Amino acid sequence: MTLVGAVLNVTKEQAPEAVRLIEFTCYEAGMETPLVMASTAEDPGHVMTRRALDAGCDVVLAVGGDGTVRAVAAELAGTSTPMGVVPMGTGNLFARNIGLPHDDLLICVHEAIHGTPTGWTPCSWSSDALTVPSTKRSRW
C-alpha cells in the first residue's frame, strides 16, 4: 500500500484545504493515511523529509512555496523517492517553471499523488563548483 508523506508549510492560507485534499485523495485511492508534518520557521522541511524517508514513504510532497520545495528536494536528492509539489507560495517559481497549474490546488494535489514520475536532476551551486547528484525520479 502506498504511503504519502507531506511536508506542509502551515503558515500558508491554503494549508488546511491542502491537508483535506491530500487526505481525501489518498483515502479515495485506497492508500494509507498520509503522514503530514508541519515545517517551521527554523526548518522549512529538512527534518520532516528525513522523517518521511525513515517512515518508508513512497512519495514526499512539498506543500508550500519555493522554500519548502528546496528543503524537500535537498533531502530527497540522491534517493529513489519521488517528490510531489503542491504549490502554495507567493512566487511558486519552481511550479511555474515546470508548468504546474499553480493556482489550482486540487489538480496539483492529484498530480503530486497520482502523476507520472518525470526525471529531473536537482543541482546545487556554490562559487567553487556545480554539484549534480545522481538522477532521481520526481512527480509533479
* Number of other residues whose CB lies within 10 A of the CB of residue 52: 28
Confidence of residue 120 (pLDDT cuts 50, 70, 90): low
Confidence of residue 108 (pLDDT cuts 50, 70, 90): very high
Between 102 and 8, where is the model more confident?
A: 8
Alpha-carbon span 44 to 64, nearest angstrom = 9
Highest mean pLDDT among 73-77, 92-96, 126-130: 73-77
* Average confidence (pLDDT) over 49-57: 98
Characterise 64 by phi-psi region: left (phi > 0), alpha (psi -120 to 50), beta (else): left
Gyration radius of the chain over CA positions: 14
Main-chain dihedrals φ then ψ at residue 2, nearest 5 degrees: -75, 135
* Average confidence (pLDDT) over 21-36: 98
125, pLDDT greater than 60: no
Confidence of residue 138 (pLDDT cuts 50, 70, 90): very low
135, pLDDT greater than 70: no
**CATH fit for domain 4-138, picks 3.40.50.10330, 3.20.20.210, 2.60.40.10, 1.20.1440.230:** 3.40.50.10330
DSSP SS3 for 44: coil
Strands 59-64 and 118-120: unpaired
129, pLDDT greater than 60: no
The grid coordinates of residue 55 equal 517512515
